[in-house]
Chain A
Amino acid sequence: MASLSFILRRILQMIPTILFILVVTFVLVRLLPGDPATVMLGDRGREADIARINAQLGLDKPLVVQFLYFIANVFSGNLGNSIALRVPVTTLLVERLPVTLLLTGMAAAIAVIFSVPLGFWAALRQNRASDTIIRGTFQVGLSMPVFYVGLLLLIFFGAHLHWFPIGGYGHGFGDHLYHLFLPAVTLALSLSAVLMRNLRSAILNVIDAEYVDFARSKGLRGYVILVRHVLRNAVISTVTLFGLQVGVLLGGAVITETVFAIPGAGRLMIDSIYGRDYPVIQGLTISLAIVVSLIFLATDLLQAWLDPRIMR
């Protein structure tokens, strides 16, 4: 019961967030300098064309009316049409967003697979050589821009060793995974650094806790103590951090997709910016923000499941 009402409350909290996302996106596109139609058509735009595009975008109506139209359209799944590609934005999103989600999902999985054991290892070898090396390496990783990491991996493992394709998305699911491997590693690097660092300090905070001593005094096996008592408690804060990092990950995906020529939402975003395709930019911004808030929801629920004290 308590958990059900917690979940419901948490879902209701998303409503103002999503409204705010819509307001920001709306304001962003409409209030910042530069009339979209003029910008789109350039200085060569004829009066009639500008009026046509303005009408198409609903820009000839009062702002409040525009906003209401906008909201109504968004909720009926109508995000307008791409100016450059002349297809509905939703069609583009359905086509491109899954690619980006697969990429970030793989990156997140790789980051977790690397950071959890390494964070553990570093914490248990606190201040010894291996701890220092692991932390130093990740600190360097944290200072590397995504596009640079991507370029280096691409050249070395792709062009030089021919282990992986030098870009693209491939055909069929297995081929997708193969094509996305290097990009996912690229994205995973800084996330693993952040997670590793957080987990290490969380473990060091937990490992001296009295309940760990109590568990040891019960004669439990070492791995039971580490997994059930140390890791489960330590990972709670890491889960929150992971949720917060998903936004960073999606931002990184924009760059990674550009570097590796992957036809995902990020690549679409950059193309739309070059092409001044406002409806697409708007649609992408909204849907990526909604993805992030869904991930927040998921990590909050996961955290509540891990830590029953939260659910009250």
Chain B
Amino acid sequence: MAETAPVLKVRGLTTTFETAQGRVTAVDNVDLDVFSGEVLGLVGESGSGKSVTLRSLIRLIHAPGRVTGTVEWEGRNLVDLPDPALRRVRGGEIAMIFQEPMTALNPILPIRVQIDENLRAHTTMDAAQRRKRMLELMDIVGIPAAARRLEEYPHQYSGGMRQRAMIAIALASSPRLLLADEPTTALDVTIQDQILNLILDLREEFSMSVVLVTHDLGVVASTCDRVAVMYAGRIVETTSVHDIFARPHHAYTRGLIGSVPRGGSERTMLMSIEGTPPSLAHMPRGCSFNPRCTFATDKCASSVPHLEHIEPEHTVACFHHEAVARAGVSQ
């Protein structure tokens, strides 16, 4: 699946916010590779910085926030790209979909306008061509009676249809990378599967890559090719979806995997992670997971472990990854 050169190469991505309580680092020195045609899962608890990471890739960060590092996309660094060039990338080359279509769609514009403005911004199509393309897109994402529904407003759509509409809008200009921020969390379970399958189908059809942010390991297992696990603003482990479930090397990943009941296996104890994630304003010294970690030693409390390759496609940021791996997933 993965080719040698990544299409998106993220190095040292750091996003900070100046607040009254001082500087808060929401994304801390993140390295990520996204390869052509793959679905990369970005996993973590809420507050782990995965959504901010996703938004930082295209600098979709609100005022007091500051993004540094490099995001290499087709020979350009998106972090310091001038605004006009960044606008061509946003929507045209890299598109994004959000968790809650009810709030992400503009409530007072018909869906037609919301697709059309994307086509106008990134294509040279005339009105008739755009119209044809819009009907096509509605068809692709599975919205029936496209001509009528284009004129309708978000509140006239059902939850699942709204998410389909948002995907149609995002994909209007055939982007090559889709950033999906918990696209199914707000939906019913049955509809979740439909939307995930739609995203997988569209990946084939548009031959695009997908970065999928989720906290749901079930979603990860059924859709992702590779996974990056985030904790407190840092990536702690990246590997294939198989290895993440079979051989986690970071204590946090292990805890995360262990806290999900898995069908088909023997009845085993569910592991749970003691304590709560640290607040971004009060990060522990050293490895940010150390206060909750059963493998932690003095070293973990004093210095920060960096991501290192333990296998060609498996990186982990843990001083005791061997011990974690030996401990296995289910006792």
Interface set of A (CB-CB < 8 Å, partner B): 208-211, 213-222, 224, 228-229, 232-233, 236, 306-309
Contact = CB atoms under 8 A, between A and B. Distances in A.
Given A219-B89, A220-B117, A214 B108 contact: no
Contacts, number: 85
Nearest to B90: A219
Contacts of B122: 219
B62 A208 contact: yes
Nearest to A207: B62
A209 B105 CA distance: 10
A222 B95 CA distance: 17
A215 B153 contact: no
Contacts of A209: 103
Interface of B: 55, 58, 60, 62, 83, 86-92, 95-96, 98, 100, 103-110, 113, 117-118, 121-122, 153, 155, 166, 169-170, 179
B308 to A, nearest CB: 33
B96 A220 contact: no
A210 B104 contact: yes
- Chain A interface secondary structure, helix, strand, loop or mixed? helix
Nearest to A214: B104
A152 B169 CA distance: 55
A211 B153 contact: no
30 contacts: A208-B62, A210-B98, A213-B55, A213-B98, A214-B104, A214-B106, A216-B60, A217-B60, A217-B90, A217-B96, A217-B179, A218-B95, A218-B118, A218-B169, A219-B86, A219-B87, A219-B90, A219-B121, A220-B87, A221-B87, A221-B121, A228-B106, A229-B106, A232-B108, A233-B107, A307-B107, A307-B108, A308-B108, A308-B155, A309-B107
A39 to B, nearest CB: 54
A180 to B, nearest CB: 35
A233 B60 CA distance: 20
Contacts of B170: 217-218
A233 B121 contact: no
Contact of B106 (A208, A211, A216, A221): A211
A209 B154 CA distance: 15
Contact of B100 (A210, A222, A224, A228): A210
B98 to A, nearest CB: 6
A214 B92 contact: no
A210 B109 CA distance: 14
Contacts of B113: 228
Contacts of A217: 58, 60, 90-91, 95-96, 170, 179
Given A219-B89, A233-B107, 16 more contacts: A208-B62, A211-B104, A214-B105, A215-B117, A217-B95, A217-B170, A217-B179, A219-B86, A219-B87, A219-B91, A220-B87, A220-B121, A221-B121, A228-B109, A228-B117, A233-B108
A220 B108 contact: no
Contacts of A308: 108, 110, 153, 155
A213 B153 contact: no
A130 B114 CA distance: 33
B108 A215 contact: no
A165 B153 CA distance: 51
Contact of A213 (B86, B87, B92, B104): B104
A236 B108 CA distance: 10
